[in-house]
Amino acid sequence: MGIFENQVDLKPPQSRYWLNRAPEEAADEKMADVTALYLPAPTLHAAGERGLSTDEMTGIQALERKHPTIPLGPGRVERREFAYIRQGTLTLIANFAVAQGHVVASSLGPTRTEEDFATHSARTVASVPEVTRWHFVTDNLNIHQSESLVRLVADHDGIEDD
């Protein structure tokens, strides 16, 4: 008799995912807010405003190749050393410009803190001084609702936290 004989109905390789959803009304209201900003984004851009979708990616491995890459040449493919040296992890904070369809003013650093996000937001605003109003769409992460970010918005007339 094996140790798992009493647990015949267990099937560890089989699993299912589920999503805890917000109440439909709240999700619909938030989606309406985001859509209300994304749809007129080209018009807002023409009027000197910018709509940005902002998010972070944490735990990006900072890798360094152990040996230099051998470049492409006539009759020879590029060759990269498979071995690497791990240099820790980084966090990317990026803004996607909705009207233009590209990333603007990204930040790369070792941490994801309230100060990092406020600094990133201030740098974004300073990167294009002629913009009259900024609309940042973010998720509900605590650093997106920090005191330093609220102070930045209060100090700058042209920022809206959507």
**What's the CATH number where 120 sits?**
3.30.420.10
Tell me what pLDDT residue 26 has: 76
Residues 6+ apart with CB under 8 A from 146: 114, 117, 118
Sheet of 49-65, strands arranged across: 102-109, 84-97, 49-65, 133-137, 159-161
Which residue is listed with tokens 């966090």?
91
Examine the pLDDT at 14 and tell me if it is beyond 70: yes
Examine the pLDDT at 157 and tell me if it is beyond 80: no
Q: What is the largest CA-CA distance in the chain?
A: 77
Q: Is residue 157 part of a domain?
A: yes
Examine the pLDDT at 160 and tell me if it is beyond 70: no
User: By the 8 A CB rule, do 48 and 133 touch?
Assistant: yes
15-24, 72-81, 85-94, 133-142: lowest mean pLDDT where? 15-24
Distance CA(61)–CA(134), nearest Å, equals 31
Q: Is residue 8 part of a domain?
A: no
Q: Is residue 80 part of a domain?
A: no
Decide: helix, strand or coil at residue 48.
coil
Residue 147 domain boundaries: 40-57+93-161
Domain count, the chain: 1
Q: Is residue 122 part of a domain?
A: yes
Q: Is residue 4 part of a domain?
A: no
Q: Is residue 143 part of a domain?
A: yes
Q: Is residue 101 part of a domain?
A: yes
Taking 3-state DSSP, the helix, strand and coil percentages for the chain, each rounded to the nearest 5, stand at 30, 30, 35
Q: At what angle do helices 147-155 and 114-127 cross, to 10 degrees?
A: 20
